[in-house]
Structure 1
Amino acid sequence: MNVSTTASTPVWRASLVLALVTLLGFGLLYSLAGTGLGRMLFPHQATGSLIEREGRVVGSSLVAQPFADDRYFQSRPSAASYDVMALAGSNQARTNPDLRRRIDEARAAVAAREGVAPADVPGDLVTQSGGGIDPHLSPAAVRIQIARVARARGIEAAEVERLVAAHTEAPQFGVLGAPRINVLELNLALDAR
């Protein structure tokens, strides 16, 4: 009886040491090291890629926001109501009649707002991204809004076109993705001009 009690003590001790090493080493120290390294190597990205103007945070270059005023380019629709704590797509299948109805209504509204035919409305102005807060639009979706923004601001469309061209990002590494424009950064550049 005494032999089995003595033999089980080292097993429990080893188990507790392993649990503590795993919890503290990998659960705490590894996480702190990774966070610290990320903040050191990528300070802007590690803090949410926040954009500040006059000492005030106005948004993040990673998160879309709604713009209601005609003086601004409109963002892509959001299934999450632009709430970063509720990231989600609509989860509606392409065959869902509610999705088709919502897209048709959005296409008609965008076409009326921009003064174009519904067939000319780019898809990213009427569809939601998978995460629900994609901050980018395609150049086509931005170009269709130039006339409205220029008219609302009382400036030449050519000036707005130059800003759009200056804020058009090429595909990453020249091959990944498509050209895109960060709507918040473009709208801030319009305000700053």
Structure 2
Amino acid sequence: WLKAFEKNETFFLNRKTVSASGYTVRVPRIPPDTTESELRVHFAALTGCPVADVNIGFKSGDIINLYKKRGLLWNKRDKIGNQIRYINNYKDTHPQGRAWPELRRLPKLMKRYSALTKKIKKCDAESAQHEASSEAITAYITFETVEGYFKCISMHKLSGLKKLCPPEKLKLRGQ
């Protein structure tokens, strides 16, 4: 009974609950070097309503792919590190002693471990270079009130010609 009641009430409450995403506007095609504070000031002045939050979306697909690659390399290196640790822990106490076959694998594992470490460092250097050159492509502006949201939406409802040449007051830094 309680689960059914909770399910019905959750649906009702979710419809009636106001969240921050309800007051968020997506602004595509912003200048690449735009900052969050710049957008906050611009939209607060434009609508006359306070801005709760500003998030910028960056062109970072390459960085994400680098981090995925780095994660795979890290996992491989971690597995090899565990194998090395296991061999080092039992090399003196293993019943087979120096004849233990795993001991012969140790130099090869150490080489693979150091090679993976070099690849990870290379990925780190590449990602640092990409992060420095990432550019903003879109912004998400969240207003504190529904009034600010509707003012912003109504100001940006432009016809086809006005979208190509918007009014000066709507432009951020004249762009």
TM-score by length of 2: 0.29
The higher-RCO structure (CA 8 Å, 6+ apart) is: 2
Structure with bigger gyration radius: 2
